[in-house]
Structure 1
Amino acid sequence: MNDTDFRVLLAVLVVALAVTALARRYALSAPLLLVVVGLGASYVPGVPIVPLEPDLVLFLVLPPLLYSAALESSTLRLRENLKRISQLAVGLVLFSTAVVGVAAWLLLPELPLASALVLGAVVAPPDAVAAASIGRRLGLPRRIMTILEGESLLNDATALTLFRVLLAAAMTTTVGAGTTILSGLEEFALAAVGGVLIGGAAGWLLHRARLRLADGALESSVGLLVPFAIYLLAEELHTSGVLAVVISGLYLGHKADEAGYATRLQEQAVWKALDTLLEALVFALIGLQLRVVVDGLGDDATRILLVSLALLGVTILARFVFVFPTIYLPRLLPRVRARGPALPWRGPFVISWAGMRGVVTLAAAFAIPAAGPDSPGMPGQSVVLFAAFVITVGTLLVQGLTLPVLIRRLHIRDQGGHGDVLDEAAVKQAAAEAALARLDELSDETTPETVTEQLRAWAQHRANSPWERLGRSDDELGEAPSLAFVRLRRAMLHAERQTFARFREMRRIDEGVMREMLRELDHEEAMLDR
C-alpha cells in the first residue's frame, strides 16, 4: 500500500465514522446509511476509485469481526439451536449456490455453468451484521437472534470453501466433473474438521496462557493478535481459517469468567471500538464499489442489470423456499409433532427476510481472477462481479430498510424481559447469601465492625436492585432505593473528580497521581452503570 492508498483509506475511515455517528445520533441503521452514502460518493467528481482488496477483507477484517462476535455469543444457546443453525449455515448455502447458479446460467446463456455456480457460492452467505444491529435495537426474540448470529458465524466457512472448489473447476477443463465434486467434498471435510480441531486446540492453549499471564493489558494485547494468528495458521494448513477463529472465540468467550476482571473490561472496550471501526469501513467500501463494477461491463450493462435484479429476487426467494419446508415438513412425522406445538410462522418469516449479503460476498467476487497477460481468468468474471454487487446492495437496501417495519408489524418482540429480571433477582439473592456466608467465615473479632457492616450493606444493595424492578411502577412507589443510590453516588463521584482536578491545578498533586485516583472512580462508575 503506497502513500496515496493510505491517505484514501484513512479518508474513507474518517468519513465512515462520521456517518456512523450521524446514524447513531438519529437511531438509523449505520450499515445501510454507509452503503447509501458510499453509492452516492462513488460518482462524486474528485472522489478516487477505492477498489476492495480481497486480502484486506479476508485477513484483516473478517477474522476480528468473527472472533469478536464469537466472544459475545452464548455457546450454550448455540448448542441448543445447533440443528437449525447447521441447516442454514451448510444446507442453505449449498441450496442457494445451486439455485442462484442454475438461474444465472439459464438467464445468461453466454455464462458457463461453472462460472454461474461460482456466482451462486459468492452470494450464498448472508452477513448478519446489519440484521443483528436491527434485531437488537428492536428487541427480536433471543432464539431468533441466536439463529441469525450462529448462521453468520458458520456459513462463511461453508461458502468460502465451496467458492474455492467451484472457482478451481471454472478455471480448468482438464478435470472431470466427478473428480471435481469428489475432491471438493474431500476439501470441505478436511477444512471443516481441521478448522474445528485447530480452533479448539488454540482456544484451549490461549486460555491456559491467559490464566498464567495475570496481566490485563498484556492479555488484551495478545487477544488482539489471536484472530489473525489462528486464521493464518489454519489457512496455511489448508483448513478453514474462518471456522478456526469462530471455534477459538466461542471457547474463550465461554471461559471468560475464569479470566481476570481487568481483561474482561479492557477486551470489551477494545473489541467494541474495533468492531465499530471495521464495520464502518467495510460497509462504506461496499457502496464505493459501484463505479468499479459498472466500468467493467461494457455496452451490455442494461441487460446484465436486469438479469442481476432478477437474480436478486431469486436469492431472496431461495431463502424462503429453504427455511419454511425445513421447519414445517418434519412435522408430518408423528414423533416430531409429539415434541411440541409448531413454531408460529412469523419467526421463520423474519429469519427468511433477514438474509442481507455483505462484505464476504464482495470480497469473494473481487478475488475472482480477471483475464490478463499471464492468465485467461475466469469466464464471465465481470458479469459475476456486477451481479454479486447488485445482490449485495439490493439485499442490504431492500431487506435492510424493510426489516424494522416487518418486525414491528408482525409484533415479534422478546417477551422475556420480566422473566429475565426474575432470574437475575433469584441468582443475585443466592449470590448475596453465598457472599455473606463467606464473609462470616473470614470475619473474626479482629475484623473492624464498620468494614463488615459496609460489606453487608453493599451485598444486600446488589441483591435488592432486581427485586425492586419487579415491584410497582416508579409513579406508585417513588424512586427505587437502588436508583437513588446510583443517582446520589454519581453526584458524589462528580464532586470528587472536580476536587482532584482543582488540586492538580493548584500543584497539590501530580498528574500521574490524579489519573490513578480517577481510574478508581471510573471503575466504580462503570459498576454503577452495570
Structure 2
Amino acid sequence: MAFFESMLTLLLVAIIFLQFSRKFRVPYPTMLAIAGIIVAAFPWAPEVAIDPRLALALFIAPVLFDAAYDLPPRTLRRNWLPLFSLAAIAVILTAAAVAAVGVAMAGLPLAVAVALGAIVAPPDAVAATVMLDRFNLPRQTYVILKGESLLNDAVALLIFSAAVAAATNPAFFTGILAELTLAAPGGLILGYFLGRLYMIVGLKLAGTLGGTLLEFVATFGTWIIAERLHLSAILAIVAYAMVIARYMPERQTARHRIHSYSVWEAAVFLLNVLAFLLMGLQVRQIVLDLDPGRLNFAITLATAVFVTVIVVRLAWVLVYNRAITFLAARRLTTQAAPSFAASLLAGWCGMRGLVTLATALALPIDFHDRDIILLSALAVVLGTLIVQGLTLGPLIRFLKFDPDTSLNRDLTKARVALIDAALAELEGEDKSTRILRDVYISEREITADGRHPREVSRLDRQRRCVIAAKRRKLAEMRRADEIDDDVFHRLEQELDWAELAVLPPGRDEIVES
C-alpha cells in the first residue's frame, strides 16, 4: 500500500510539474526526474525492490517497440553514416571512457566497469524530441536524433548484457560468448516471424479492447519468448516492431489506430513515472545505508561519470562533423555534411532517461558495487536532464537555425496528390451534393425522421469514398518511396480524423470483444 501511495503521489507531483514543463518549454523527463527525487525524499517513502529480469522486460520492451515503430529501414539506409556514428561509435566510446573512469577511480573489475558504461551510454530521444518539436529545426537533424534512439538503445543493451554475463559467469568466453553470437540473428528471425503472426491475429481482433490488450501481450511476449530461447530479446523486439510498422497502418481502421497510439503514449509515460520512482526509492535506501566515507566516494565517482558522458559525446560529434566536412569537400562521400551548429546541437542532445534507469534496475541484486553503479546512473540521468535539458532551448535560440521548410513542402506536395486522387474518385458525381445549403436541408429532413444524417447522407458516403481513395494513394506513395515516413504518418493522422468526422454513429467503435 505504501508503494501505491508513493506512486499516486508521484503522479500528482508529475501532473503539477508538467504544467511548468509546458509553460517554460522544459522536457517532461526533466520534471519527472525532479519529481521522483522529491517523492523519494518523503519520510514515509517505502523501501521497494524490483526483480532485475522484470525491469528489462517491463521498461525496455515497450520503449524499444515505440522507437522501432517510428524508424523505417529506409531511414536507416539513407542516414546510415550519421546514425552509425551516433548509435554505435558514440555509444561504444562513451561506454569505454566510463569504464576507464570506473577502473581508474573505483578499481572496478573490467566487466563491471563496462556494465556501468553501457548503462549510462545511450541518450534518451524522448527528452530531446519533446524539446525539438517546439522549434523549427533542420529536418535532417531531427530525423537523425530520433532515429538514433532505437539504435543506441540496442547497442548499449547488447553491451550491457554481455558485460553482466561476463561479470557473473567465469565461463563467459567459452560458452556464453558463442551463445550471444547466435542470439543476434536468432532474435531478428524470431521477431520477424512473430511480427508476421501478429499481423494475422491482430487484424482479427482489431477495433476491440482485446485487440488493444493483445498489443501489449504480444510485445512483452516477444521479449519473454526470446529470453526463454536464449535469443536477443532486444533485436527480436526491433524486428517485430519494424514488421508491424511497415504493414499494419494500411490495414488498421482510423479509430483503432488513434486509440492504439493514445494508449501507447500513455503507457510509455506511465513507465517513465514508475522508473523514476523506483530508482529514487532504491537510491534513497542506498544513501541511507552507505557510511559517509563511501558515500562521498560514490558522489565523486558519479560526478566524474556525468562529466565523462557529456564530454565524450560532444567531442565525438564535433570530430565527426570535421571529418565528414573534409570528406564531402573532396567528394569522398555522398553523405551531406551537417552544419557546425547542427552538430553542436546533436552533441548537446545527450540527456539520459528511461533506458539508463531500467538497465541500472536490471542489475542483479548481488552484482559487484551495485550501489555505486545505481548512484552513478541516477546522477547521470539527473545531471543531463537538468543541465542539458534546461539549456537546450536557449542553445537552439542562440544558434539561430534557418527555418527548414522541407517538411511543409513535402506535405503540400503529398496533399495535392491526395486531392488529385480524391477528384478522380468524384468524376461523374452529381455536383449538387456539394452545395452546402442542400447538405443542411437534407440533414434536417433526415434528422427529423429520427435517423442520423451520416447514416444515409450521400455526401458523407462520397467523403468516405474520397478518403479511401486518398488512403490508397498515400500507401502507394509510401511504397514507391515518394514520401518519407514522417510525411506518411502526418497525413495518415489527418485522414484518420477526417474519416471519424463522417462515420455514422456506432461504426468502427472500440468494443469489448
TM-score, scaled relative to structure 1: 0.74
The answer for the alignment partner of 2:156 in structure 1 is: 159
Q: Which has the larger radius of gyration?
A: 1
Cα distance in 1 for residues equivalent to 2:242 and 2:376: 34
The answer for the alignment partner of 1:150 in structure 2 is: 147
| Cα pair 2:279 2:357 within 8 Å, conserved | yes
Cα distance in 2 for residues equivalent to 1:27 and 1:344: 25
The answer for the alignment partner of 2:45 in structure 1 is: 47
| Cα pair 1:157 1:240 within 8 Å, conserved | no
| Cα pair 1:52 1:289 within 8 Å, conserved | no
| Cα pair 1:331 1:337 within 8 Å, conserved | no
Corresponding residue SS for 1:399: helix
Cα distance in 2 for residues equivalent to 1:448 and 1:365: 61
The answer for the alignment partner of 1:483 in structure 2 is: none
The answer for the alignment partner of 1:344 in structure 2 is: 339
Q: Compute the displacement of 1:78 (Å).
A: 3.6
Whether 1:254 aligns to 2:246 is yes
Whether 1:117 aligns to 2:114 is yes
Backbone CA RMSD of aligned residues: 3.7
| Cα pair 2:25 2:131 within 8 Å, conserved | no
Paired residues for 1:68-147 under 5 Å: 68-109=66-107, 111-147=108-144
Residue type of the alignment partner of 1:147? I
Identity of aligned pairs, percent? 32
The answer for the alignment partner of 1:430 in structure 2 is: 417
The answer for the alignment partner of 1:486 in structure 2 is: none
Cα distance in 1 for residues equivalent to 2:183 and 2:320: 26
Q: How many residue pairs were aligned?
A: 454
Residue type of the alignment partner of 2:360? A
| Cα pair 1:118 1:166 within 8 Å, conserved | yes
Corresponding residue SS for 1:339: coil
Q: Compute the displacement of 1:313 (Å).
A: 0.9
Shift of the 414–188 alpha-carbon distance from structure 1 to 2, 3 Å rule, reads farther
Shift of the 444–364 alpha-carbon distance from structure 1 to 2, 3 Å rule, reads closer
| Cα pair 1:356 1:395 within 8 Å, conserved | yes
The answer for the alignment partner of 1:311 in structure 2 is: 305
Cα distance in 2 for residues equivalent to 1:61 and 1:328: 37
Corresponding residue SS for 1:138: coil
Shift of the 91–421 alpha-carbon distance from structure 1 to 2, 3 Å rule, reads closer
Residue type of the alignment partner of 2:245? G
| Cα pair 2:207 2:509 within 8 Å, conserved | no
Shift of the 385–444 alpha-carbon distance from structure 1 to 2, 3 Å rule, reads closer
The answer for the alignment partner of 1:356 in structure 2 is: 351
Paired residues for 1:75-474 under 5 Å: 75-109=73-107, 111-172=108-169, 174-175=170-171, 180=173, 186-213=178-205, 215=207, 217-255=209-247, 256-300=249-293, 301-329=295-323, 332-333=326-327, 336-337=331-332, 339=334, 342-370=337-365, 377-412=366-401, 415-416=404-405, 419-440=406-427
Cα distance in 2 for residues equivalent to 1:49 and 1:414: 50
| Cα pair 2:90 2:313 within 8 Å, conserved | yes
Residue type of the alignment partner of 2:196? W
Cα distance in 2 for residues equivalent to 1:282 and 1:393: 13
| Cα pair 1:162 1:188 within 8 Å, conserved | no
| Cα pair 1:195 1:241 within 8 Å, conserved | yes
The answer for the alignment partner of 2:63 in structure 1 is: 65
Cα distance in 1 for residues equivalent to 2:244 and 2:317: 31
Cα distance per residue 1:444-490 (max 9 Å; x no partner): 99x99978788889979x99xxxxxxxxxxxxxxxxxxxxxxxxxx9
Cα distance per residue 1:336-391 (max 9 Å; x no partner): 44637632111121111111222322332333334xxxxxx443332222222222
Q: Compute the displacement of 1:123 (Å).
A: 1.4
Corresponding residue SS for 1:239: coil
| Cα pair 1:96 1:318 within 8 Å, conserved | yes
Residue type of the alignment partner of 1:86? F
Cα distance in 1 for residues equivalent to 2:183 and 2:330: 35
Comparing 288-297 and 220-229, the one that deviates more: 288-297
